[in-house]
Structure formats: C-alpha cells, structure tokens
Amino acid sequence: MLRILLVGKNGQIGWELLKTLGHSAVVVAPERSELDVTSRQDVARFFEIVKPDIVINAIGYNDVDGAEQHKDEAISANVDANANMAVVACQINAFYLTYSTDYIFDGQKETPYVETDPANPLNTYGQTKLDGETAIVNSGVNFLILRTSSVFSLRRPCFLSSFLRKAQMDDQIQVRADLVSSPTSAQYLAKITAQIISMGGKKNLDWLCERKGIYHLAGTGFASRFEWAQEIRDILKLNVKILPATRSDFPIATDRPMYSALDSSKFLDTYRLRLVAWKKMLKSVLDGFS
C-alpha cells in the first residue's frame, strides 16, 4: 500500500489531509517533536525509518504581518524545511508535494495570474514562499507545487475565522475592498490532493511524475475581502455592518498584492478534476459553523 509522510498535520490543510488521505494509503503524520524539519540530518534519519513513497509538506509560516518581524522563523519554515525535505525525498526517490501562494506576485495584473507570470513578492512571506519553491525545483526531486490563494477554514487563524471573531464582538467592521484574491478552502485542497494521488492507480507514482511541476489551484472566480465578508454575513445572516476600507485605513499593515486572483486552467487541463467556485466552497465550510 502507498506510504505517505504528512508533515504539518495540525495546520489548515494538514488537518484536512489527515482526515482524507487515510482511506487510500498508509499515512505517517509525526508530531513536531518527532521530526525537526530544519535539520537535514534529522529529516534524513526520519525518512529512512518511514520510507515514504510520497512526502506531503503542509507546514508553513503563513502570518504575513508576523513574517516581517520574525524573518528567521519564516525562512526556517518556508525555505529551509522545503530544501531539507525535498533533497532527502530526492535521495530516497520519493515524490514531493507542497503548497505555495499567490503572494509571490506583486498584484499589478488586472486578470488572474497564470504559472508563467513573473514573480515579484512584496513582502517577506511571499519572498520566503518563492524561495521555498526555488529550493524544491533545485533539489532535483519529482514534485508538485500547488499555488493557492486565501486559504480558509474554521479551525485555524485566517480571514474567515478572524472576521467571525470580530462579528461576535462588533456590530460594525471595516474590511479592505482593495485586496482581491481567489478564496480557497483547506477542505477542498485536501480533497483534490487525495484525488490526485489516487488517480494513477497502481502506477500512481509514475503517473504523478509525468504531471509534475507548478500549478495554480484556487477557488474559481475572485473577490475583494469586502465582498468575501459580505458573502459570509449573508450566508450566516449575521447582524453586522461591513464598511469598505483601503490600505490607508490600516497604516501598519504589511504590503500585499492588491490583485492576486489565480487562473487554474493549467491544472484543469492536466488533471481533469472539477474546479469549484469560491462561493460554493465558502457555503460548504459554513454549513458546519455553529
């Protein structure tokens, strides 16, 4: 049976992956104390014990504002961890899968970004995610990097959980109308990841290697955070007034790309899996909110 090493089981995507992957594979999901991904030696030791066919890295430093004050931590999680695990995965001939971000782009486009658009990160978070991608490519490992956008769930810090928390405390909330992205649920990313892994059947590793590379995968369509907040309010029938805001209303906020919607056409053409509108993803996640 396929052996998968899942690193980051407690994160937004990792938690969903742990629920989803176990139906079709043997999943080893270590605690942080069991595997130090910042140590190449520790990674090599652990990988040799587990002998995974596929390594899924679902960890990452995703606090955009925090990364500016804690650059070393962001580099350690987003660059060094990817470099260590990708190199060792290559040495043992394992396939490597991880997730990246729309924040590698500068937001100057007016149409959704495709994979061949030039990267130009505006902040430390985006730069470390891009450097992590580069480390993976340079390692020589067979890899799949899924760039996604505005990942949300109910159980980890993100725009959705932050907005819901504010809505419980205030009847009026300012939300930026000048940040546009393609909201994507962690639940959806985990489901698609599991489908990709299973599609090759008995030759799934060869099948994956034939389709390796960098792909965009996000909710179809796009929305400003203001529009996203309105949709949350309407689905849950919250009694809260949402006021449109801009960068000037949040003077200490870290620079972010104003427009970072993603075009997932390459993924659709390659994997032939159904893309889902961001509004439908949001409705599915909020159906479990109480």
Per-residue pLDDT tens for 120-131? 999 999 999 999
Minimum mean pLDDT among 2-16, 87-101, 199-213: which range? 199-213
Helix (H, G, I), strand (E, B) or coil at 262: strand
The reported pLDDT for the residue numbered 200 is 79
For the chain, where are the alpha helices, taking DSSP H only?
A: 12-21, 40-50, 64-69, 71-75, 81-91, 124-139, 159-169, 186-198, 204-210, 225-236, 265-271, 278-286
CA angle 253, 257, 260 (to 5 degrees): 135
Write out the CATH class of domain 3-152+184-220+260-276: alpha beta
Mean pLDDT of 23-31: 89
Kindly report the pTM of this predicted structure.
0.95
Q: Are 96 and 143 in contact (CB under 8 A)?
A: yes
Checking if the pLDDT of 175 tops 90, the result is yes
Look at residue 40 in the predicted model and tell me its pLDDT.
97
Please name the residues in contact with 9: beta carbons below 8 A apart, sequence gap of 6 or more. 15, 17, 18, 29, 30, 58
Mean pLDDT of 134-152: 98
Say whether pLDDT at 25 is over 90. Answer: no
Would you say residue 23 has pLDDT above 80?
A: no
To the nearest whole percent, how much of the chain has pLDDT over 70?
99
Cβ neighbours of residue 112 under 8 Å, at least 6 residues apart?
182, 222, 261, 262, 263
Parse the chain into domains and list their residue ranges.
3-152+184-220+260-276
3-class SS at 117? coil
